[in-house]
Amino acid sequence: MSYQTKSTKHWWNNAQHRALLFQVLLIGGLALVVWTIAGNTMTNLEKRGISTGFKFLTQESGFGIIQSLVPYDESYSFGRTFVVGLLNTLLVSFCGIILATILGFTVGVARLSKNWLVSTMAGIYIEIFRNIPLLLQIFFWYFAVLRALPSPKQSMSLGETIFLNIRGLYLPKPIFESGFGLVLVVLAIAVAVTIALAIWAGKRQRETGQQFNTPLAAGLLVIILPLATYFLAGSPVSWELPALKGFNFKGGISIIPEFTALLVALSIYTGAFIAEAVRSGILAVNKGQTEAASALGLHQSMVLKLVVVPQALRVIIPQLTSQYLNLVKNSSLATAIGYPDLVSVFAGTTLNQTGQAIEVVAMTMAVYLFISLTISFLMNWYNKKIMLVER
């Protein structure tokens, strides 16, 4: 008995054993909570006669969606509404990330400009848009700006090919004909050659210090070659022009005002935070680095491109990752103005019509979790790639 007591005390005095015990107890407690919640939920659903499962995804939706990147009408299933909402969310998120990054880097560099006017204007932009709630900015662009546009019959036009009114922006739609596939093949080859050329130019510069005009070569390859192929193939693209028929425009490509308002608000709002991240990253670079580069006779733009930005990225990337994640999650505010994103058409209309709250909310949460984890993985991979390697 005395031996068992001593053995127990010895086991308890071991920090690793105690940590293992506490972890087991914590996991057991969480499992008990989850089991209790799940049991109560199933009991309540059974009492109310609500069935569970994902069979509702095959049922006919019975409602329309104002923007769809894939074929859709009221006869399609709730599963298709999920796809439509997902694609709309990915579209506005992807476009928002691109525009916010460009705007943020531009304003962040301008914030450090020696020109007083440029620096002040950049600072005003940051302070205004960073401190106004995003939802109010969405309302401003949608109700105060876009809803003030004229009716379709009084549309603003550019050369009778592009029209802007309260219902959206209407653009010519390209109709691809036979022979356009060759243009795409040439474009793909040009892009591959450009990437290989950029890798070679970077390696050459690191080894010899000699620079290669990669942007010029990329422009010649990606623009001139496909364009020449396009004309040699007999211009295999025709254009479908939008035309006013009745009370609205038919034909062409339409960009709904809900998408425009959400995209502009997300880009401007997130761009303000990215600008501050860029400014802090640039200021984190040792001043001696820029002075040494200037002493070598490098132009200010080359100092920024070759010395400052590569080092600043190591500070910028972690903050940039957070802003990208915030932009994707903030896109769910689209439901406030009726943009048909995943939350609006699936976690909103679909949930209301089917009553499958658990399944719908779980699928929506899983989508946002997957998107966020994918962005984090890619950004962390890139951050690790540019990280300083100690010898």
pLDDT tens for residues 376-385? 999 999 888 8
User: What pLDDT is attached to residue 4?
Assistant: 55
What is the Cβ-side half-sphere exposure of residue 200, based on CA atoms within 13 angstroms? 11
For residue 104, which of 272, 309, 280 has the smallest C-alpha distance? 272
Average predicted confidence (pLDDT) for the chain: 87
Q: Which residues of 220-253 are buried (b: 16+ CB within 10 A; e: fewer)?
A: ebbeebbeebbeebeebeeeeebebeeeebeebe
User: What pLDDT is attached to residue 85?
Assistant: 95
Q: How far apart are CA 344 and CA 325, in angstroms?
A: 19
What is the Cβ-side half-sphere exposure of residue 322, based on CA atoms within 13 angstroms? 8
Residue type, 204: R
Q: Which residue has the higher pLDDT, 6 or 199?
A: 199
Integer Rg of the chain from CA: 28
Residues 6+ apart with CB under 8 A from 132: 269
Residue position matching structure tokens 């990208």: 324
The model's pLDDT over 65-109, given as tens digits with 9 standing for 90+, comes to: 989 999 999 999 999 999 999 999 999 999 999 999 999 999 998
Residues 6+ apart with CB under 8 A from 264: 141
Taking 90 as the threshold, does the pLDDT of residue 331 lie above it?
A: yes
Taking 60 as the threshold, does the pLDDT of residue 6 lie above it?
A: no
How much is the pTM? 0.84
Secondary-structure percent of the chain, ordered helix, strand, coil, rounded to 5: 70, 10, 20
User: Which band of pLDDT confidence, cut at 50, 70 and 90, is reported for residue 213?
Assistant: confident
The model's pLDDT over 271-315, given as tens digits with 9 standing for 90+, comes to: 999 999 999 988 888 878 777 877 777 777 777 777 788 888 888
User: Which band of pLDDT confidence, cut at 50, 70 and 90, is reported for residue 329?
Assistant: very high
Q: How far apart are CA 364 and CA 352, in angstroms?
A: 14
Residues 6+ apart with CB under 8 A from 271: 99, 100, 101, 103, 104, 107, 129
Return the ∠ at Cα 367 (arms to 255 and 52), rounded to 5°.
Answer: 115
298 torsion bin: left (phi>0), alpha (psi -120 to 50), beta (else): beta
Taking 80 as the threshold, does the pLDDT of residue 46 lie above it?
A: no
Dihedral through CA 74, CA 80, CA 85, CA 87, nearest 10?
A: -130
For residue 379, which of 26, 166, 51, 97 has the smallest C-alpha distance? 97
User: What pLDDT is attached to residue 188?
Assistant: 92
